[in-house]
Amino acid sequence: MRRGSGVQAMRAPRAWRRALAVCLACCACLLQSPARATGNDEISPAERLIFMTDHLHDVAQQSELDYALLSSQSGSQAGSQAPEQGADTVRVLVSSPGNAKGDAQVSDHSGAVPLPNAGLACNPVIIYFLERDIADMERATGGKRRYFQQRVRLALAANPKIETVTSQINGKAVKAQQIVIQPYKNDPNAERFAQYTGKRYTFLIADSVPGQVALIRTDVPGANDDFAHPLQTQTLRFDTVVRKLPTPQNGPAKSPNAPRANR
């Protein structure tokens, strides 16, 4: 946290949580954070790692970070014998060096995806994944998106454990910090969407991966919390970084000694 007056230091956590609420609520009416409601303004290490870390500070200008987005659904969940699978590529274009201007843009198969991530230093692909997941929950259950947003915020604010793990990312062993949450595990309203009570969110943040987001995954377990045979899985995994050179607006400059075409 940056140095400042005592009043500014006290307000910083509140200001950050308001920014996060706006991001996850898509500019809807803000819900009071449960942590704030109980007088707890401390930002958890998990919140700091996921939302307040400048993940793009080492990314070169005009670099595109590509992520594979994979979805799978069991046959019984899809209403058929065979499982369903889907794939997409999510791209984060970092225009300024280290995203110094906060102008990184996210796109997928539909084109540019506007995100309400103003005020957060994190890799915007995190907000993209969570916004997509919450919209999916709303469609699947008929529940209110703001309720699901609140459950995710509460789970991250509840000081979940951060573990150092080694994971395989694109065939390479990567050391990462892992955060796992289950926002609906002890939800008093879980009977309304019992199938998703055990839904698990896994975040892998790795310094050695460009953009630091190595993987984000959600799993809806099978019967009796069977994560070995999940009903649904959605995974966002870092794939590659592509350097894109800017195109001169007026075309390449011509040398004064360049040969002229014959007329």
Residue 13 has pLDDT above 90, yes or no: no
Top pLDDT among 104 and 26 is at 104
Task: Indicate the residue type of 209.
Answer: V
Q: Which residue has the tokens 């000081």?
A: 159
- Cα–Cα nearest to 206, from 214, 197, 217: 214
- Cα–Cα nearest to 227, from 201, 209, 253: 201
Q: What angle do CA 44, 45, 50 make, to 5 degrees?
A: 100
Residue 73 has pLDDT above 50, yes or no: yes
The CA-to-CA distance between both ends of the chain, in Å, stands at 67
Task: Spell out where the chain has E strands.
Answer: 63-73, 84-94, 105-108, 111-112, 162-169, 172-181, 200-205, 213-220, 232-243
* Strand ranges across the sheet with 162-169: 111-112, 105-108, 84-94, 63-73, 232-243, 213-220, 200-205, 172-181, 162-169
- Which band of pLDDT confidence, cut at 50, 70 and 90, is reported for residue 85? confident
| pLDDT of amino acid 83 | 59
Top pLDDT among 25 and 72 is at 72
Residue 138 has pLDDT above 70, yes or no: yes
Task: Indicate the residue type of 149.
Answer: Q
Packed helices 124-141 and 6-25: angle between N→C axes, nearest 10 degrees: 50
Average pLDDT, the chain: 82
Tokens of 204: 């892998």
- Of 33-47, 148-162, 199-213, least confident by mean pLDDT is 33-47
Q: Please list, in sequence order, all residues whose beta carbon lies within 8 angstroms of the beta carbon of residue 125, skipping any fewer than 6 positions away.
A: 65, 67, 90, 92, 106, 211, 213, 216, 236
Residue 2 has pLDDT above 80, yes or no: no
- Which band of pLDDT confidence, cut at 50, 70 and 90, is reported for residue 120? confident
